[in-house]
Amino acid sequence: MANPTQTTKTGDASGRGSVSGYKVNFPARMRVYSEAEINAVVNVMRNAEAQTQGEYLRQFETDFKAYTGARHAFAVDNCTNALRLAATLCRLAPGDEVLIPAYTFCATAIPFGSTGARIVWTDITPDTWVADPHDIEKKITARTTTIVVVHLLGMPVDMPAIMEIARRHNLRVVEDCAQAPGASLNGQKVGTFGDYGCFSFHGAKNITTLGEGGVLTVRSDEDAALVPGLRHNGVRGFPAGRERYWVPAMSNVDMDLDSLWPNNFSIGEAQCALGSQLLKVLDELNDVTIAQAARLRAALAEIPELTVARIPDGYRHIFHQFVMHFDGSAFGKNRNDLLDFLTGEAGVRAIVQYHPLYRYPLFQKLGAAEQDCPILEGWWDNSFSFPWWIGMPDETLDYLVDSVKAGIASLKG
């Protein structure tokens, strides 16, 4: 039975936030800011000369490169626009095919679909629940130009396998790292394997630059030379050595963008100053969610009806969310029955996320209804997530486990 007393007091447009009547909510943000982080913002408000495109942008980009090991990093206003820049640099055109995971947030696909390229949906692996390299290779045709993968929920994709396929077929690779800042494979950070890495600092992410923000990492020097102009309406700093700085004009109108249309995807200085502070604590924050997940995974191992993702050796899965699969077929029940119990009697605001994108009317109407994703089809309708934030008390985690046990016992009758 759904909880009858639901009212959102605060929260965001996606429905996250405190809802009365629940013992455990699905919060709108992952943590509160520290004083050092607040001071970094206030300092820019008081003291910085430029409020955008200034020294804090350059520092944040330098810090991001140092943190990830990326060759080039460009801060932008959000990850959707980082993906849009990647799509622009891939030079996608109508008739091209781009391979995109069907199991992800819609923002992964929109920037690529809007180029006019054809979206070909790719499946998940049966055990890690992110992009399956075998399925990707199977779907490559003579028209494929680009592979997009998503390190969804904080779980890294098998990037060595993806890059090997891309090299053999001469394809570009975009990594959507929106949910995985700090995740890595054998010590190499996500966002540094492919041609482009796209990061989000949206309000619900592990680190957030005041609600919106992102970074595009870029491998090639040629692409990197284009990004500042593409990000900011073609405006770029003058190269050193111009004698008359005002010639031909105050903004640099004579630098070539290789016939690509620019945009304004700039991010403010206060957000960049905050971003630099947040990078200092990112590993610590990820350690907290990893420890929370370890506690839950150990306890859930006793429940045969629940499965969690396999974490291959050498993977740092940062647990941006905690997703499980429920199999109640032995007693004729499904995920929705379990969620009725959790959200009702137990007061746990569990959720279901990332509906397969080919099921959305948005994508269907835009010509991306076709799919061949049998693993996702067989898995998704019985998947769900617990409420999740950084620093959940042990008692809350234990309550989630007890609730799910009680729910399954009640469904079994």
Binding positions for ligand PLP, rule: CB under 6 A: 78-80, 104-105, 107-108, 150, 176, 178-179, 200, 202, 214
* Residues 167, 248: Cα–Cα separation, whole Å: 42
- Tell me whether residue 271 or residue 292 sits nearer to ligand PLP (CB atom): 271
Q: How many helices (H) and strands (E) does the chain have?
A: 12, 13
Residue 79: CB minimum distance to ligand PLP, A: 3
Contact at 8 Å (CB) between 319 and 297? no
Residue 341: CB minimum distance to ligand PLP, A: 28
- Tell me whether residue 105 or residue 386 sits nearer to ligand PLP (CB atom): 105
- Tell me whether residue 104 or residue 128 sits nearer to ligand PLP (CB atom): 104
Q: Helix, strand, or coil here: 55?
A: helix
Residue 22: CB minimum distance to ligand PLP, A: 22
Environment class of residue 290 by beta-carbon count within 10 Å: exposed (0-12), middle (13-18) or buried (19+)? middle
The dihedral region occupied by 69, where left means phi > 0, alpha psi between -120 and 50, and beta the remainder, is left
Residue 238: CB minimum distance to ligand PLP, A: 31
Residue 243: CB minimum distance to ligand PLP, A: 41
Residue 155: CB minimum distance to ligand PLP, A: 11
Strands (E), 267-331: 306-307, 315-316, 323-326
Q: Helix, strand, or coil here: 198?
A: strand
Residue 252 CB coordination number (10 Å): 16
* Residues 131, 125: Cα–Cα separation, whole Å: 6
- For 186, residues 6+ apart whose C-beta sits below 8 A from its C-beta are 314
* Amino acid identity at 294: A
Residue 145 CB coordination number (10 Å): 19
Q: Helix, strand, or coil here: 158?
A: coil
- Tell me whether residue 182 or residue 407 sits nearer to ligand PLP (CB atom): 182
- Tell me whether residue 202 or residue 231 sits nearer to ligand PLP (CB atom): 202
Bridge partner list, 113: none
- Tell me whether residue 8 or residue 14 sits nearer to ligand PLP (CB atom): 14
- Tell me whether residue 3 or residue 108 sits nearer to ligand PLP (CB atom): 108
Residue 148: CB minimum distance to ligand PLP, A: 10
- Tell me whether residue 131 or residue 404 sits nearer to ligand PLP (CB atom): 131
- For 66, residues 6+ apart whose C-beta sits below 8 A from its C-beta are none
Residue 394: CB minimum distance to ligand PLP, A: 27
Contact at 8 Å (CB) between 379 and 354? no
- Tell me whether residue 214 or residue 229 sits nearer to ligand PLP (CB atom): 214
Instruction: Note if the bond before 248 is cis, omega within 30 degrees.
Output: yes
Residue 128: CB minimum distance to ligand PLP, A: 15
